[in-house]
Structure 1
Amino acid sequence: MNRHVAPPEVTTAEPLIALDGIRKTYGGEVPVEVLRGITLRIYPGEFVAIMGASGSGKSTLMNLLGCLDRPSSGTYHFAGKDVSHFDRDELARLRRDEFGFVFQSYNLIPAATAVENVEVPAIYAGVDAPERHRRAAELLTSLGLAERLNHRPNQLSGGQQQRVSIARALMNGGRIILADEPTGALDSKSGAEVMALLKDLAARGHTIILITHDREVARHARRVIEIRDGQITADSGPDLGAGEAPSLPAAAHVRPSPLADAGEAVKMALRALRTNMFRTVLTLLGIMIGVASVVAMLAVGEGAQDEVMKRIGSMGSNLLVVRPGAPNERYSAGSGVRTLMPEDADALASLPNVTAAMPERQGNVTIRIGNRDYATQATATSVDLPQVRSWPVEEGVFFTPEDVTSHATVAVIGKTVEKNLFGEDDALGAHVLVNNVPFQVIGVMSGKGATGFGTDQDDVIFVPITTGGSRLFGETFVRSITVAASDVSKIGDTETEVRRELTARHGKEDFQIRNMASIVETMSATQQTLAILLASIASISLLVGGIGIMNIMLMSVTERTREIGIRMATGASTRNVLQQFLTEAVVVAAFGGTLGMVLGFAAGFIIQWAGLPLKFTALPAMMAFGCAVLTGVVFGFMPALKAAKLDPVAALASD
């Protein structure tokens, strides 16, 4: 074999690869120069072996030839273009479209099948799924692996794994095949088969660059270049008789794109997450608990708010409630303060913007019919209650002004009283004893239901205010007067008029006025603040879940560094790697968010079953889910960025 150093260029053929004065120095406390002024021309269709001992610089030269690394100085022209200063993504596109790598350690993705490993370069080339699957199967079949398409690397022998690696190198056409010690990990028979495949590819027009330390392996090449101490010491010269005319089916020329589609990214993410299911489940738990807490706690907050507002609203937001006792004096039902009389209600009813003024007095009573007794609450009031409280009579009638004037012993009962006293019997017209005073039931109120805080609004009996004062309670004073305003926008003026009228009647301000409209507004603001507080507390769980996502993704990047290097070698750009790992984080968050919503609804129903008020609405649930996904994006971005910025050579060299 005729060997010479840096042979003079006597041909006018255009080289495919042209290196001029390439140097590579690795930094550190003591810089090490690995390549020292390499000048080299490689032509289309050549089968070149670069041979050298360990530490000679041949692997570094291969990394530079394959655009996995960049020189410290010198120029590299590929097909006439200077690629020495290409950025990361430009080098990735060049690797994707022009190079195929065959490594000594195969560098297959452990979790992917043979077909999926071969498809990887085509994913980054934008080939649609059916076409790349067809071509991957075709390539594997042509290499004798038709029955191993769906086997994972650990189910294949070394020789079969190397065939998968060759098929992957050819997926996008494989104009240039860079084989780094392709037989180093194989037995002699498998090694011979791999070399036969490389020779066949060279015969079909592919440019083969073989890196080896074995002279016997190098003899298969048509051109041998020897390297020692970072310099070419021998070169048998270009083989210009070889021409590029690949007969192997080439990949379809498609428009390059980052990833085929979002579905492919999700598929890759799910496959990666399945490799460590237990850790993934633990991460899911963090997100699940966070979302479930937000959903359940917001439902509790909404339910409590609705219940409070319902109770206040049942009295009406257009109401003023007047109670006895001077301002700032604490009042209770049993305090004995006696400053309001039924006549005050009559006076207030005549004021402008007042539709009704309803006096009330409550007390506990026992109702008896036959041999049945029932304890409930009696409310002595006026004929205006159905209107003021928006509480209609379901059966019979409410008492009339004549009943009030005549101190009639008539009563209207709630649904709970009707059920407990009469069961299925008709209550209308029945005579009952209320604290041993006979009353006739003339009506049954419509059902209001429980308030959610243990108070049954239907457990009540209504009697005329005059009858209650004289026959049941023995006192004529009232415990409250509820004033209904016709125009709620003028309720402030009405409150002023009520205060003026009562002060004039009593000679002093011995009463308190509660404006229900302002109370409703205040309660609404308070409940909203409470809901925000509950959501904030629950969001801490989401934060913990987000930290879990960051942890699992950082560990994933560390464990899959070699896989990242493989993807970069096969054409993955910075955006591709960033998108893949970010998608994995979002998939975890979205899946955890979905399960968390289900768990939150389930927890809510249990809380509701326990008797607490609850209200589920779509917006908080969707917001919780959205926050979970956003958490995945935010906490997954740093690990994804770390993966995207890995150096391809360093990533491939990791264990």
Structure 2
Amino acid sequence: MPLISLRDIRKHFGGGDKPQVEILHGISLDIHAGEFVAIVGTSGSGKSTLMNILGCLDRPSAGTYLFAGRNVAGMDVDELAWLRREAFGFVFQGYHLIATETAQENVEIPALYAGMPEHERAQRARSLLARLGLEERLQYRPKQLSGGQQQRVSIARALMNGGRIILADEPTGALDSRSGEEVMRLLNELADAGHTIILITHDRDVAANARRVIEIRDGDVISDTGVNRVTESAGSMPVFTLDEQASTAQWQGDMLEACRAAWRVMWVNRFRTALTLLGIIIGVASVIVMLAVGMGTKERVVAELGAFGTNHIYVSPKRESSRVPGRGINLSDLDALEELPQISYVLPNLSGSKVVRYGNQDAQTRIKGTRAAMSRMLSWPVVAGAFFSEEDDQHMATVAVLGPRLVSNLMPDVENPVGETILIGNVPFQVIGVLGSKGSVTGDESVDDLVIIPYTAAAMRVFGERDPTYVTLEVSDMAQVDAAGKAVEELLLSRHRVRDFNVENAAASIAAQAKTQGSMSMMLAMIAVISLLVGGIGVMNVMLMTVRERTREIGIRMATGARQRDILQQFLTEAVLVTTVGGVTGVICGLAIGTTLVFLGMPVIFSLSAIIGAFLCSVVTGLVFGFMPARQAARLDPVVALANE
């Protein structure tokens, strides 16, 4: 049985909107195992098209191609890839070596896709190159080799998986006469060793080396010197079966090889890679930093608001409309509020802005009149001196407790302000204490600038107003804060008959602030994610350009046995590797920026979930945006890809 049997093979190009041109006009021939056949013809005769069909790089438009008795038309793309990998070895006129790979790595490619272990394929590649006189050129890249040396590397690659059938397309066409003679000598040695050699050439002197010459002209066989019978042992082919073990090994064992090849491509195009990485780095770093700053700001606001207690209700006067005057909160309301069972203490507050003087220094600041319980209720300790007492409030004592920042601004040279006298308006007050710092709560307004005096002194000596500006209510049970708030509203509404007051729950205010800050953080995170998506689009654009630049490489890999999924895996690996490197770099940059902000005093809280999420998002970006270019590469037609310049 012939190893290769062609019956009425036709091939045409074009059709549809383009004129149809038939290249092969019903070619029929048989090639037996172990034959050395030369297919000779002038340029345009169809011999290269015939070679592509013989090597399963292209499919005929009509006719039957039997390989070892099996109809090739019934094979899918993976079976054809297996056939190219296990049965055929290609030697091209243009060598078709991958420029970024060394001589040894180029030779290893067919074994890589066959699933051969790394040490075995490396040993076999070195042995083949040494056999062809290239043992000193293993790590040379194609540009460092002469034409003859590149062709010998191509022959070694064709033999890597056994090379039972060598398809040589004009193997001497680009060589000088000496190198050409050397290549033909090698092909004769392979033929003598039992390999089936199919030589495509236009040179009759080269064709004379073959034992059988088939001449083709205008797509037809015009002469055939006949079959040169060989012994069955010389080139017998095994029964055609798919090697499923090699298929599994590809997915399990060659991911490291795909990463290595991807890294090499990245390094060769490192400037372009760096620009691509920039978008991913900015996106990942932005996510980390913005979420860290957002969480830090949220925690600071909540902490500052919570520093004044969460079991408090604040009541302040307001007007329902310009036509309905508000009565405000009066002292009789305070007595009524004290009767509510949920309320444990009622703290009236009078506040306003006044000029405070000390010596030659003065400052416009807030004055707050309150009662002695304020320090306890708001957990605001005195760091120097003491807070005023209930007795001071009852006797309208002109004593004051100052915020720490006001002390620094008003008495910069005074070591201990306790006992000093200040003027609030024109009324002298003795400083009896200095409060600890509480920080700023809203905007630039700081409670550390306060002057706190007894409520009665504020009412009678400073503001001339007895009714409070607002009232702080302490709730005995934290769980009853909401119920207490409703009770306060009902009480005041029944007394005033109009809603001329405002009731605020401290815990609800903190929750609202936290929600607002959380929304801001989410918005910042979304902006950062958008920048990450932009980086992903950049990856896709670069990968599409890479596919176009490396179309011939894809064709070489397919000719040496790469399946569609091998090409898909290779380009997906490259995309994911780019985004992974960008993700790692982005995480490092994000942590570095965040640490710098901490040293600058900004509130920053790093989130492990945000860091992991940003990194995983970058990797997923590589998968998502790299899939389309990878799929495009995998679906290329081998013969079209090889013809790409």
After superposition, residues 267-286 of structure 1 pair within 5 angstroms as 267-286=260-279
2:212 matched residue in structure 1: 223
Aligned to 1:145, what secondary structure does the other structure show?
coil
1:109 matched residue in structure 2: 98
Structure 2 gaps of 5+ residues are 237-242
After superposition, residues 465-484 of structure 1 pair within 5 angstroms as 465-484=455-474
> What is the CA distance between 1:444 and its match in structure 2?
4.4
Asked if 2 retains the 8 angstrom alpha-carbon contact of 1:431 and 1:438, the reply is: no
Could you report, residue by residue, the CA deviation over 1:169-214 in whole angstroms, capped at 9, with x for unpaired residues? 1222222221111111000111111112222222333222221122
Cα distance change, pair 649–447 in 1 and its aligned pair in 2 (3 A): same
Q: Distance in 2 between matches of 1:489 and 1:329?
A: 37
After superposition, residues 111-190 of structure 1 pair within 5 angstroms as 111-190=100-179
Q: Distance in 2 between matches of 1:130 and 1:344?
A: 91
Tell whether 2:449 aligns with 1:459: yes
Q: Distance in 1 between matches of 2:641 and 2:473?
A: 79
Tell whether 2:435 aligns with 1:448: no
Cα distance change, pair 470–135 in 1 and its aligned pair in 2 (3 A): farther
1:202 matched residue in structure 2: 191
> What is the CA distance between 1:618 and its match in structure 2?
3.3
Q: Distance in 1 between matches of 2:507 and 2:94?
A: 77
Tell whether 2:5 aligns with 1:18: yes
TM-score by length of 1: 0.86
Tell whether 2:580 aligns with 1:587: no
Could you report, residue by residue, the CA deviation over 1:408-455 in whole angstroms, capped at 9, with x for unpaired residues? 444444443455677798748544435275656555444333458434
Select the residue among 539, 558, 562 that pairs with 1:572. 562
Select the residue among 63, 76, 84 that pairs with 1:87. 76
Tell whether 2:246 aligns with 1:255: yes
Tell me which amino acid in the other structure corresponds to 2:13. Y
Asked if 2 retains the 8 angstrom alpha-carbon contact of 1:125 and 1:254, the reply is: no
Could you report, residue by residue, the CA deviation over 1:607-645 in whole angstroms, capped at 9, with x for unpaired residues? 777776554433334433333333332222222111111
Could you report, residue by residue, the CA deviation over 1:344-384 in whole angstroms, capped at 9, with x for unpaired residues? 44542441222333222234456667777666543222334
> What is the CA distance between 1:162 and its match in structure 2?
0.8
2:314 matched residue in structure 1: 321
State the number of aligned residues.
633
Asked if 2 retains the 8 angstrom alpha-carbon contact of 1:360 and 1:480, the reply is: yes
Tell whether 2:620 aligns with 1:633: no
Q: Distance in 1 between matches of 2:122 and 2:454?
A: 86
Asked if 1 retains the 8 angstrom alpha-carbon contact of 2:37 and 2:212, the reply is: yes
Cα distance change, pair 330–114 in 1 and its aligned pair in 2 (3 A): farther
Q: Distance in 2 between matches of 1:578 and 1:632?
A: 13
1:557 matched residue in structure 2: 547
Q: Distance in 2 between matches of 1:26 and 1:498?
A: 89
Cα distance change, pair 367–103 in 1 and its aligned pair in 2 (3 A): same
Q: Distance in 2 between matches of 1:399 and 1:298?
A: 44
Asked if 2 retains the 8 angstrom alpha-carbon contact of 1:396 and 1:428, the reply is: no
Select the residue among 226, 250, 253 that pairs with 1:236. 226
> What is the CA distance between 1:145 and its match in structure 2?
1.6
Could you report, residue by residue, the CA deviation over 1:582-620 in whole angstroms, capped at 9, with x for unpaired residues? 222222233333334444455556777777655443333
Select the residue among 612, 624, 640 that pairs with 1:650. 640
Which moves more between the two structures, 173-182 or 616-625? 616-625
Structure 1 gaps of 5+ residues are 1-13, 247-251
- Give me the CA root mean square deviation: 3.5
TM-score by length of 2: 0.87
Asked if 1 retains the 8 angstrom alpha-carbon contact of 2:304 and 2:439, the reply is: no
After superposition, residues 146-545 of structure 1 pair within 5 angstroms as 146-232=135-221, 233-241=223-231, 243-244=233-234, 255-256=246-247, 257-259=249-251, 260-327=253-320, 339-341=328-330, 344-364=333-353, 376-394=365-383, 398-417=387-406, 427=416, 430-435=419-424, 443-451=433-441, 453-506=443-496, 508-545=498-535
Cα distance change, pair 115–509 in 1 and its aligned pair in 2 (3 A): same
Q: Distance in 1 between matches of 2:338 and 2:211?
A: 113
Asked if 1 retains the 8 angstrom alpha-carbon contact of 2:39 and 2:201, the reply is: yes
Which moves more between the two structures, 93-102 or 307-316? 307-316
Tell me which amino acid in the other structure corresponds to 2:108. E
Which moves more between the two structures, 160-169 or 393-402? 393-402
Q: Distance in 1 between matches of 2:43 and 2:497?
A: 111
After superposition, residues 33-72 of structure 1 pair within 5 angstroms as 33-72=22-61
Asked if 1 retains the 8 angstrom alpha-carbon contact of 2:7 and 2:28, the reply is: yes
Tell whether 2:614 aligns with 1:624: yes
> What is the CA distance between 1:559 and its match in structure 2?
1.3
Asked if 1 retains the 8 angstrom alpha-carbon contact of 2:417 and 2:431, the reply is: yes
Cα distance change, pair 325–104 in 1 and its aligned pair in 2 (3 A): same
Which moves more between the two structures, 628-637 or 514-523? 514-523
1:8 matched residue in structure 2: none
Cα distance change, pair 253–156 in 1 and its aligned pair in 2 (3 A): farther
2:240 matched residue in structure 1: none
> What is the CA distance between 1:125 and its match in structure 2?
1.9
Cα distance change, pair 440–105 in 1 and its aligned pair in 2 (3 A): same
Which moves more between the two structures, 112-121 or 24-33? 24-33
Tell me which amino acid in the other structure corresponds to 2:97. L
> What is the CA distance between 1:563 and its match in structure 2?
0.6
1:10 matched residue in structure 2: none
> What is the CA distance between 1:70 and its match in structure 2?
1.6
Q: Distance in 1 between matches of 2:2 and 2:370?
A: 106
Aligned to 1:355, what secondary structure does the other structure show?
strand
Tell me which amino acid in the other structure corresponds to 1:648. P
Select the residue among 26, 32, 39 that pairs with 2:21. 32
> What is the CA distance between 1:322 and its match in structure 2?
0.9
Q: Distance in 2 between matches of 1:634 and 1:542?
A: 12
2:88 matched residue in structure 1: 99
Q: Distance in 1 between matches of 2:168 and 2:77?
A: 22
Aligned to 1:326, what secondary structure does the other structure show?
coil
